Amino acid sequence: MPADPQWIEDALLRWIVFVPLGTALASGLLLAVFRRTLSSSLVVWMSCGSVFASFGLSSLSFAKLVGLFGEVPVDDVPPRVLIDTLYTWVGVGVGNSAFSADLAFRYDALSAVMCLVVTGVGFLIHVYSVGYMRADTRDDGGLQRFFCYLNLFIAAMLVLVLADNLLLMFLGWEGVGLCSYLLIGFWYGDRQNAYAGSKAFIVNRIGDFGFIVGILLLFWSMADAGQPAVSFRAIEAGFGSVASQTLALPGWLGGGEIGLATSIGLCFFLGAVGKSAQLPLFVWLPDAMAGPTPVSALIHAATMVTAGVYMAVRLSFLYEAAPGALVVIAWTGGVTAVFAALLATAQNDIKKVLAYSTISQLGYMFLAVGCGAYAIAIFHLVTHAFFKALLFMGAGAVIVATHHEQDMRRMGGLRKKLKLTYWVMVAGVLAICGFPGFSGFFSKDEILTSVFFAHELPGHVALYWMGVATAGLTAFYMFRLLFLTFHGKTRLPRGRRGELDDPEDTMMWPLQILAVLAVLGGIIGLPQFWGDRIGVAESNSLGHFLASVVRLGEPHALDAGVVAQLVGGVLAASITGFGLAYVLYISRPGLREKLEPVLGVPRRVVARRFYVDELYDAVFVRPLVIFSDRVLSRGIDAGLIDGRLVMGSAHAVRGLAAHVLKHLQSGLAQAYLLLMLAGTVALLAYLVT
């Protein structure tokens, strides 16, 4: 981690954000304010074009940034950050409370990777959406609305990853949350969808609360130390002075002290838990599948949900000073990974399987962050974006082809009809399961290696085995998905079996590009061990690239024996999972019925997601509703607030207004004059005495 990276101003960055933002605003304003609908081809071209332009600009900046890396450093720290400061949005106060927030974007290695993923994968999903939304007949006037939200999302996500300070990042953070809400409930005619959108929004609120508290805690503790700052540059430079401070815990938490860095880190992590759907706030993501499938692919798999990982990596300098927070992150990630993978095995809705799988893979990323392997977390983020977007869009292709059938129990045998879809799905499944050579293999293997060597992490052996178990479960549920959907005999209702075919080309060619990326994407971060085998020095280009932003761990002492052990363990688990799926769903499906009574209870428990939703419902929602209804609503609200305070206060206000103040406001000029004079007398009396 360079001590104090200098930066270069580059006014191009703003356009990466502004182009999609402008498009979204233009079409949104036209629709909402002027009630003009544009022709669908114009909407499509504008929308896809703006994201592609954004991708092009990101690539330009990327080239510029890489160019900086090639330069011979003049002094110790060559500038490896592009900054675009638009202006100081607000700057007030003096001294310790001085507060100044710039509207500034930052393009360093980390932003670059995120930016390229968001705009690149985002563009492919935009193109895919053109076909998907055309095939969708539920909403006829909504194409413009859909692409407006989608572009707004891309803009907000870019603000999030390009922000140079915490406030702007928070703006993007909330922006993507808003778009997520809007798009989950896109078909708001169905009450369930609207409900799912609200659920996502409300659960995220808990996380956002942590985020805000984190920002304030960080700002004030640094202001107390005489270095008020919100920009990442300033925070990183000045954080050392407060890193060692401690906070006294209140008595009901057992007293004692907690490191300031740890508490700030935990607050921010709470935000990440909400946004990235980790335990215990994961419940919104499966329900978020109510949105259109491209939305699930873009927002709820490839980009937005990884914002938590991005934030943790962006603040890695903070977490470096907070080992306690890292332990919490690692364990949350590890437990979520295995837990969500377990849940995925019992889902019948094809999108729900993928949703749980996303939660599980995000758990992997946090596991990596917890081990201090930030670059590897980002590596997995990238490969996951490729293969998960691919899987979701493949699932979407199936859904479109079968006329909105999502239940895998009513699919089967689609392999022969949807040939291309089948093969891209196979590529995605192999990538996520870590088939040697595919992208997921390298990133997952790297994560498990870092866990294996994370000796300073309490319980790292347990975490390692949880990771291995997750790999096995992943293979099981992914192949289960593949077999149920594409193999065996078709279980589609008779009427729908006829003209099944791969969807149109605009949907298929993004899938093919992503399939290539999912297979080959691993080369961007090829671990050095494998690089040595094929004779490439410095093969881990992503890691070296990110080294300008995050601390890279010491290279592990790997010899062939250790690698064989590590890879062997994962592969064994994966093959077991695959084998189990093969036996249960291909070779001896009858076995399932026999196992049914034995596995009945655990299966039902898993199928009902360990009753987490019910638990929350019983522990939080129901009591809250009852409390809200009985006590707050009927008792306090209807009784006290409505009755006494609102009716009371409205009555009091109204009454006050109507009876007392209105008496004053009687409309009679003489009464007005009286009050005026009374006021004057009061003024006189006060000032003179």
Partner 1 sequence: MEAEAFDVAALAPLGFVAIGALVTLMLEVVLSRRAFVGEGVDPETRLVARARIGIVLAFASSAAIVLAMYAAIYQFELGFETAFGPGRPMLQLDALSTFATALIGLGALLSVWLSITYLPALRINHGEYYALLLLSTAGMFVLVSAVDLISLYLGLELTSLPIYALAGFNRRRLRSNEAALKYFLMGAVASAVLLYGMALLYGATGHTDFTGISQGFAGGGGLALSGLALVIAGLAFKVSVVPFHQWTPDVYEGAPTSVTAFMAVTVKTAGFVVLMRFLVLALPEMGEKVSVLLGVLAGLSMLIGNLMAVVQDNVKRMLAYSAVAHAGYLMVGFAAGTPEAWTAVLFYLFVYLFMTVGVFCVVIALAQGGREWDSIEDFAGLASQRPALAAVMTLFLLSLAGIPGTAGFMAKFYLVVAAVDAGQIALVLILVGTSMVSFFYYLRLPVVMYMQKRRQDPDAETSSSEIVVLALCAAAILYFAFFAQADPFGTGVRALDVAGRAADFLH
Residues of this chain that bind partner 1 (CB under 8 A): 32-35, 86-94, 97, 103, 650, 653-654, 656-658, 661, 664-665, 667, 669, 671-673, 675-680, 682-684, 686-688
Q: How many CB atoms lie within 10 A of CB 81?
A: 23
CB of 29 to partner 1, least distance (A): 8
DSSP annotation of 554: P
CB of 645 to partner 1, least distance (A): 12
CB of 79 to partner 1, least distance (A): 25
Are 337 and 384 in contact, with CB atoms under 8 Å apart?
Answer: no
Quick one: 608 or 659, whose CB is closer to partner 1? 659
CB of 669 to partner 1, least distance (A): 5
Strands (E), 421-510: none
Are 53 and 19 in contact, with CB atoms under 8 Å apart?
Answer: yes
Quick one: 97 or 348, whose CB is closer to partner 1? 97
CB of 14 to partner 1, least distance (A): 11
Quick one: 13 or 478, whose CB is closer to partner 1? 13
HSE at residue 338, side-chain half, CA atoms within 13 A, is 16
Quick one: 249 or 678, whose CB is closer to partner 1? 678
Quick one: 64 or 644, whose CB is closer to partner 1? 644
Quick one: 252 or 686, whose CB is closer to partner 1? 686
CB of 665 to partner 1, least distance (A): 6
Quick one: 595 or 661, whose CB is closer to partner 1? 661
Are 437 and 522 in contact, with CB atoms under 8 Å apart?
Answer: yes
The DSSP bridge partners found for residue 407 are 349
Are 354 and 392 in contact, with CB atoms under 8 Å apart?
Answer: yes
Quick one: 599 or 682, whose CB is closer to partner 1? 682
How buried is residue 516: exposed, middle or buried, by Cβ count under 10 Å (0-12/13-18/19+)?
middle
CB of 104 to partner 1, least distance (A): 12
CB of 24 to partner 1, least distance (A): 15
Q: Three-class SS of residue 591?
A: helix
Are 352 and 360 in contact, with CB atoms under 8 Å apart?
Answer: no
CB of 660 to partner 1, least distance (A): 11
Residues 6+ apart with CB under 8 A from 185: 193, 194, 196, 197, 198, 290, 291
Quick one: 32 or 42, whose CB is closer to partner 1? 32
Quick one: 226 or 459, whose CB is closer to partner 1? 226
CB of 529 to partner 1, least distance (A): 50
Q: Identity (one letter) of the amino acid at 132?
A: Y
CA angle 609, 613, 615 (to 5 degrees): 105
CB of 256 to partner 1, least distance (A): 32
Are 115 and 161 in contact, with CB atoms under 8 Å apart?
Answer: yes
d(CA 682, CA 689): 11
CB of 11 to partner 1, least distance (A): 12
Quick one: 34 or 252, whose CB is closer to partner 1? 34
Q: Three-class SS of residue 311?
A: helix
CB of 221 to partner 1, least distance (A): 19
d(CA 407, CA 418): 17
Quick one: 142 or 577, whose CB is closer to partner 1? 142
| Site of tokens 């099944």 | 500
Q: Are strands 8-9 and 82-92 parallel, antiparallel or unpaired?
A: parallel
CB of 92 to partner 1, least distance (A): 5
- What is the maximum alpha-carbon separation in the chain? 100
CA angle 263, 266, 272 (to 5 degrees): 155
Residues 6+ apart with CB under 8 A from 89: 101, 102, 103
d(CA 45, CA 24): 13
Quick one: 25 or 116, whose CB is closer to partner 1? 25
Are 274 and 365 in contact, with CB atoms under 8 Å apart?
Answer: no
Are 302 and 385 in contact, with CB atoms under 8 Å apart?
Answer: yes
Displacement of CA 325 from its chain's centroid (Å): 20
Quick one: 87 or 252, whose CB is closer to partner 1? 87
d(CA 234, CA 80): 16
Print burial letters for 648-657: b (CB count within 10 Å at least 16), e (below 16). Answer: beebbeeeee
CB of 685 to partner 1, least distance (A): 8
HSE at residue 527, side-chain half, CA atoms within 13 A, is 28
d(CA 267, CA 264): 5
Q: Which of 450, 437, 428 is nearest to 373 (CA)?
A: 450
CA distances in angstroms from 245 to 235, 257, 312, 635, listed in the order given: 15, 10, 21, 45
Quick one: 65 or 158, whose CB is closer to partner 1? 158
